[in-house]
Chains A and B, each alone.
Chain A
Amino acid sequence: MESFLKEYFSDLPVNELILSVLFVAIGILFILAILFAGLTVLLRLANILKYRRFTRLENSWKTSFFDFVNGEKSKYDFWKEIRSFDSLIFVNYLLKYSRGIKGVELEKIKELSLPYLDAIVDQLKSPVSEVRARAVQTLGALGIQKYKREVILALDDSSPLVEMVAARALCREKSPELALPVIANLDKFENWSQGFLVSMLASIGSDITPALRESLRSKENSTWVRVIAVETLRELKDLKSAEIAFEIINNENEPDLLKSSLRLLSVVGTKDHLAAIRKQSESKNIYVRAQAINALGVIGTTEDTEVMINALQEDSYWIASYAAVGLKNLGKIGLLQQLAKSNHKHVDLLQNVLTIR
């Protein structure tokens, strides 16, 4: 084609170098385009075949699976139906079912998967972090008791993804024994969302509160770790931790820790803690002050009315909001109504608190 074009345009000047480069580029790109298109079609065909194979296998296992769960088929008979090269697909099949069920049925599925999990353990050595994460997830869901050592070791993996999957697998069991390594390694998860971690730990229940209290009490731990501990204790409404929080707001000055300790006291604090909380309501840190007002609004007395009224004058929506709710909790409805009709700077907020809260 090039020679044809050259001949056709032979009387015109041609920059040979650019032309050569362009033709080479056209050739390479043409091959690439055909290659990409071909690979995409092959990928589609492979996906269709894979889907059909999986569907066929799953359909063939379905009856046996339900017979096994209903006690009509032994696990030994079922295992005979699984060909060795289908074992990883079988584990994935069981993993899918394990997500939707609990109790005895779940235990049966775990039992069924056990002979195949050793192959999954091998995947923990994979250089690809996603493969290791998937392996930890599978072991955590189907064989945590047998493979707890492997899952706990995964907390030290170089990949944050694997660490996260391992921590979740350990916490999912709601067993203090398995959760303790997670609590001991909290400092590894400083990138995580605080709410995520707190919610995960709180889901285990009150059996982990002694360890959390220890984490909170120890000044050797980072502020972040102590904040996670105190927030989880708040979620669990742990009464015994009130005294630790009280000590913190009396003797320490790290704002994040003070803020969370005040949040804890708003849930488990008593009148004995009020003096220290009132002192914090004068803090220069806006977040600490807001949480102190919040705590006073929940456990305070009529003595705190003046503090609340002053807090209502603050520019911060959050402080004013806590103060308004606090006044409502203290039964100062008349005062709030009066302020809501005035030209108070937070008149919308006051009306808001009076109507919908």
Chain B
Amino acid sequence: MVVYILLLILEVFNYIVLLYFISLNSVYLITSLFAYSAHRKYVKRLKALNINELISSAGAPPITLIAPAYNEEATCVESIKSLLTLNYPDYEIIVVNDGSSDRTLAVLTESFELVLTPRAPTANLLTNRVGAIYNSKRYSNLWVIDKENGGKADALNTGINYCTTPLFCGMDADSLLEREALTRIVRPFLEDNKTIAVGGIIRIANGCVIRSGEVVKVGLPKNLIARFQVLEYLRAFLAGRMGWDALDATLIISGAFGIFRRSIVVDVNGYSTDTVGEDMELIVKLHRHCLDNNIPYKITYIPDPVAWTECPESLKTLGRQRDRWQRGLMETLKKHKIMLFNRKYGKIGMIAYPYFYFLEMLGPAIEMPGYFVFALTVIIGSASGIYIIAFFMAAFIFGVTLSVAAVGLEELTFRRYPRFSDLMKLFWLAVLENFGYRQFLTYWRAHGFISAMRKEKGWGKMERKGFGGIVQQ
């Protein structure tokens, strides 16, 4: 009897895995199809608009770039110099030194001739204590706020408190924005005054040639782990985010590059400091706030403003990053669980939230044991080997198809990888990533799932070589 029940459980679990697999890949396929249509339309739209002319006639809304910095001694000067050369008529930079224990503040002070300058807060989001505020003698639009350590969300909230412009850009101190990134990302705010948040695309800088804080030649990284991430980001942004945006259900704007209407972010009390997924949590919170209060709004993603970021090149760092992402996702989705299948929240509550909740959040809890249960069922003979092989072949070929489709979308739109050999390498990566890399990510997502269940906190150390160290030529 016990054996029978165990066999039944195994069989039921196998069906759950199958259902999960079909649902997840169907959503991927649907979003990819929507993304294809949206990209085609978007590229034509860009041809009909002269972006520079649009801004020159637009009374470009002033923007504050808020860049939290924690122990960024090695990279901060290069990154800020790059920010100072952006092609945008009216912007300010607030670097928030989040209690760095290295020489970040000293390096900034020396490089930009910082002087103590009074500056009044415009909002009073709760943050850790601000120590001093500095303005650069060389660049009047550069400010540095020195505060007690409180994490990225706390640092961003501090920046928002001192922001005087209607829009702000939340970013990482080590992201490189393309010269025209602000000009491009501000466009939805000009075209539709309901817009409250816009996200741009994040691309991998590893392997690119960078001069004076600008990516001058795009190429694939030599490191295999970084290469896999190039493909992964293409899939996530060109197929995933664009697809969700086409469905008008954007639930994530990357913390590395997003632009927000300051007043509404203040209304929702800024970024939450009790989660490591503060970027996603803010977007979910904004949706909830606007829908609860019947505020007309638009949150969108557009694929042409680019921020370049350095991705992890070691399995250890990558694992920690994915563990954190999974925890952030779970914390956010659990916090706003009321939105799940709640008609009041429209497409967000009925489509996007259930997808993230059941397939992204619970995914690792199904996928990881799935490998073991499959193996077990074969060993004890309750499922046929042919079934298992067929299943894995389907999963493999589905993954390859979606990745190849994402590479196709890149070719259809922005063609950032000009070498033909890069295109071939991306195809090869689409095959190769199924043998180890995907399983490794599943493991770390499952790890993150358990960490979140245990309510573990903390970001985990990120090792960065810096743009000056690895790719600058």
Contacts and interface: CB of A to CB of B under 8 A. Distances in A.
A99 B398 contact: no
Given A41-B423, A133-B48, A356 B117 contact: yes
A9 B382 CA distance: 12
B190 A192 contact: yes
Interface stretch (A17-25, A82-90, A258-266): A17-25
Interface string A35-57: 01101110110010000000000
B9 interface: no
A317 B385 contact: no
Contacts of B427: 37, 40
A40 B121 contact: no
Interface residues of A, number: 64
A19 B58 contact: no
A35 to B, nearest CB: 9
A14 B383 CA distance: 7
Contact of A199 (B48, B58, B117, B401): B58
B387 A196 contact: no
B57 interface: yes
A12 B411 contact: no
A213 interface: no
A37 B118 contact: no
Interface stretch (A178-186, A242-250, A344-352): A344-352
B423 A6 contact: no
A18 B394 contact: no
Interface stretch (B191-199, B224-232, B458-466): B191-199
Given A200-B57, A355-B118, A47 B190 contact: no
B207 interface: no
A12 B378 CA distance: 9
Nearest to A132: B48
Pick from B118, B193, B382, B386 the residue with the most CB of A within 10 Å.
B386
Contact of B420 (A18, A44, A351): A44
Contact of A33 (B50, B59, B404): B404
12 contacts: A22-B387, A26-B393, A40-B408, A40-B411, A137-B48, A161-B48, A164-B191, A171-B57, A192-B190, A193-B189, A349-B120, A355-B118
Given A12-B381, A22-B394, A317 B61 contact: no
Given A43-B411, A346-B120, A356-B117, A33 B397 contact: yes
A317 B122 contact: yes
Given A130-B48, A131-B44, A191 B192 contact: yes
A36 B57 contact: no
A22 B44 contact: no
Given A40-B407, A195-B59, A134 B386 contact: no
Interface string B37-68: 00001001101111001100111110000000
A38 to B, nearest CB: 10
A351 B408 CA distance: 57
Contacts of A291: none
Contacts of A168: 53-54, 57
B58 A14 contact: no
Contact of A29 (B119, B122, B191, B401): B401
Contacts of A19: 386-387, 390
A308 to B, nearest CB: 16
Contacts of A12: 381, 383-386
A231 to B, nearest CB: 10
Given A172-B57, A192-B191, 9 more contacts: A22-B393, A36-B401, A133-B49, A137-B48, A168-B53, A168-B54, A195-B59, A200-B57, A356-B118
A348 B407 contact: no
Contacts of A349: 120
A14 B45 contact: no
A39 B427 CA distance: 12
Given A9-B384, A25-B394, A191 B194 contact: yes
Interface string B379-414: 001111111011101100110110011011001100
A168 B118 CA distance: 41
B61 A193 contact: yes
**Secondary structure of the A side of the interface?**
helix
B415 interface: yes
B390 A348 contact: no
A130 B47 contact: yes
A267 B384 CA distance: 82
A40 B423 contact: yes
A23 B400 CA distance: 16
Contacts of B382: 13
A37 B194 contact: no
A195 B58 contact: yes
A32 interface: yes
Interface string A131-149: 1011011000000000000
A43 B412 contact: yes
A191 B393 CA distance: 50
Contacts of B61: 193, 195
Nearest to A12: B384
B411 A33 contact: no
A196 B384 contact: no
Nearest to B385: A9
B18 interface: yes
A30 interface: yes
A98 to B, nearest CB: 10
A284 B348 CA distance: 37
A321 interface: yes
A36 B390 contact: no
Contacts of A352: 117-120
A194 interface: yes
A139 to B, nearest CB: 12
Given A30-B397, A134-B44, A199 B59 contact: yes
A196 to B, nearest CB: 4
A133 B194 contact: no
A321 B120 CA distance: 9
A165 B48 contact: yes
Contacts of A47: 411, 415
A99 B53 contact: yes
Interface in A101-131: 128, 130-131
B47 A36 contact: no
A315 B121 CA distance: 11
A8 interface: yes
Top 5 closest pairs, chain A to chain B, by CB: A199-B59, A130-B44, A349-B120, A133-B48, A351-B118
A348 B121 contact: yes
Nearest to A320: B120
A15 interface: yes
A134 B118 contact: no
Contact of A5 (B45, B389, B394, B408): B389
A323 interface: no
B386 A196 contact: no
A198 interface: yes
A233 to B, nearest CB: 15
B62 to A, nearest CB: 9
Nearest to B417: A44
A130 B390 contact: no
Interface string A293-336: 00000000000000000000000011001000000000000000
A203 interface: yes
Contacts of A131: 44
A356 B116 CA distance: 12
Contact of A134 (B48, B391, B404, B412): B48
A348 B18 CA distance: 61
